[in-house]
Chains A and B, each alone.
Chain A
Amino acid sequence: MNVGAWTFVMVALSFALYIGIAAWSRARNTGEFYVAGARVHPVMNGMATAADWMSAASFISMAGIIASMGRDGSVYLMGWTGGYVLLALLLAPYLRKFGKYTVPDFVGDRYYSRTARIVAVVAAIFVSFTYVAGQMRGVGIVFSRFLGVDIGQGVLIGMGIVFFYAVLGGMKGITYTQVAQYCVLIFAYLVPAIFISIQMTGIPVPQLGFGAELADGSGYLLDRLDGLTEELGFGRYTDGRRATLDLLAITGALMVGTAGLPHVIVRFYTVPKVRQARSSAGWALVFIALLYTTAPAVAAFARTNLLNTVSGRPYAEVPTWFTNWEATGLIAFEDRNGDGVIQYTGPASSTPNELTIDRDIMVLANPEIARLPNWVVGLVAAGGLAAALSTAAGLLLVISTSVAHDLLKRVFRPSITERGELAAARIAAGFAVLVAGYFGINPPGFVAEVVALAFGLAAASFFPAIILGIFTRRMNTAGAVSGMITGLGFTAAYIGYFKFLRPELNTAEHWWWGVSPEGIGALGMLLNFAVAAAVAAFTPPPPEDVQQLVEEIRVPRGAGPGHEVSA
């Protein structure tokens, strides 16, 4: 069978599985819709969290980013995993003990304020929408390359699937579908990585093959790669190029942003116990680490393969994958010196570069570059879709919960019935699917920029407010709200200035202290902490019952499914 047929089979099988699971796990009440009745096993929840968290960006883009950035790409690896340590140690157990459905619930109750709740809801909805747009673009890329349908139709199919299980099943349907999606996506990621590792180094474990000698006897893989990249003027692969402070700031913003993302936090409300909220974060990181330790190996293999196969080759002799991807416009060759040979060179080379490759295609093209069997290529397409759809579903749920629960039930119509709230949550989820689909078909040109913004904002707003709410009894409304607004405002202004207002100034010499817009969330977070502490010191402490609430969430005893702490 050819690639197209295999892709069709793999994608159809995986979709049938998701729909089957959704039909089996329909949500019957708001508790099941929002937090799966708080009855999910911690290992299962870990898997679901991993699928929820690892998006099209992790599956499709990350290895490509690392392949092109070399050692500096480590900020994504450490940043997107280190946040789970913060979650497990500082957030998950206490939020589970608190025991309500959402992040705005916690912020609103802990800071006894409608303003705080609304600030949190708006931030949650904004962060989630920016993310969904990115996922839908991932779906579009996979469909258009592998199934030959146009991007619009691809997005429509994806929307249909997500609509079906998110709207019917709520968190319950999503959780069990995400478990299946994790299995599909990790299998799809590991199979080609293992194949390529064996091909290049003879070692079946990519994490070890990464540091091993090449099978052709030309020395260690990384030394060979360093040699190739240096020779072609890209600079050595294992050398850093970015400023140290910037690396620290980006890693910090990504870690803290991860720990502040509402669709990740909400997953820890779904386990039965506080103890399991802790271990569940550990399991989530195990499942994530499986992919995240493979990704840098894939990146090194892919970069080496790419340089070996295309650089210095006559254009007339390029392999078929090259021409396939050229058709999508994601690879472009321009024969500047007219010699018919592909000169692929970096900024330090005297020969002008003639090849541009979109980083997003690295993982998807990798099996073809390594000439793996067609079924592997089909599997990777199904894996990419699993990653994109699972994250999209988790985000849509946050949006629908925010609208139905945080805004409607808690702010505008407290008298709404259980059935009414469930219906509202479904309508909001349906509406969110439509908006996400719109962005998928007409992707805003600034998806990548907005995702940086989402992380920065989550880091600079939620994280300090939640931490201070748990670890200090003294923090009050005035402190938390002014901290959140300062952090949000500072971060949004900095990113907005460099990304949207004056993109031509977006270079290291114009950045404050050399910190890029991707890393500014870390400074925003520090600012938030400082302002909150200063304001709280000069305003009265919170009322006695709120201080009692803080005491209560610090100990596990007394938590239960749907338990509500008096406040």
Chain B
Amino acid sequence: MALAEARRRYWRRNLTYVGVLLAVWFLVSYGFGILLVEPLNRIRVGGFQLGFWFAQQGAIYVFVALIFVYVRLMNRLDRRYELDERDERDERGEGRTAR
């Protein structure tokens, strides 16, 4: 039963991460790139209007960052709940602190 409870908490935490990251995903693309594009366009950064920049550049950079943040969070979570794949640890994600 303890095992089932741990898995339940692991899954809850995963859903929280996914929820928060997808909220950012929604905000930068649908929010900044489409819904708020006109007000943001009043702000200029160099030759770019900010809303236009998010729609054609910024959203994509944020997408990349979101995936790597999720990878890090989940690798940590997997280890904390000892649900990671058992055999040899690969090159990334070493140097963790046990908690």
Contacts and interface: CB of A to CB of B under 8 A. Distances in A.
> Do the two chains bind?
yes
Interface of A: 66, 71, 73-74, 77-78, 81-82, 84-85, 88-90, 93, 207, 210-213, 220-223, 238, 240, 244, 247-248, 251-252, 273-276, 278-279, 281-282, 285-286, 289, 292-293, 296, 551, 554-560
Given A278-B67, A282-B67, A78 B47 contact: no
Contacts of A82: 25, 29, 59, 63
B52 A78 contact: no
A252 B33 CA distance: 13
Given A74-B55, A78-B60, A220-B46, 9 more contacts: A74-B34, A81-B63, A85-B67, A89-B22, A211-B53, A278-B70, A282-B64, A285-B63, A554-B7
Contacts of A252: 30
B47 A211 contact: yes
Interface of A is mostly: helix
Contacts of A555: 7, 10, 78, 83
A212 B63 contact: no
Interface of B: 7, 10-11, 14, 18, 21-22, 25, 29-30, 33-35, 37, 41, 45-49, 52-53, 55-57, 59-61, 63-64, 66-68, 70-71, 74-75, 78, 82-86, 90, 92-93
Contacts of A221: 47
A286 B64 contact: yes
B92 A279 contact: yes
Given A238-B41, A251-B29, A289 B63 contact: yes
B24 to A, nearest CB: 9
B47 A84 contact: no
Contact of B18 (A90, A240, A289): A90
Contact of A554 (B11, B22, B37, B64): B11
A251 B60 CA distance: 13
B25 A71 contact: no
Given A248-B34, A279-B92, A238 B49 contact: yes
Nearest to A70: B52
Contacts of B60: 77-78, 81, 289, 292-293
A551 B7 contact: yes
Contacts of A207: 57
A71 B90 CA distance: 42
Nearest to B29: A78
Nearest to B46: A211
B47 A213 contact: yes
A73 B56 CA distance: 8
A252 B25 CA distance: 12
15 contacts: A66-B56, A74-B56, A77-B60, A82-B25, A82-B59, A82-B63, A88-B67, A220-B47, A222-B48, A251-B29, A282-B64, A282-B67, A296-B57, A551-B7, A556-B85
Nearest to A551: B7
B11 to A, nearest CB: 6
B55 A557 contact: no
Nearest to B47: A220
B47 A557 contact: no
Residue of B68, B71, B83 ringed by the most chain A CB atoms within 10 A: B71
A240 B37 contact: yes
A221 B30 CA distance: 26
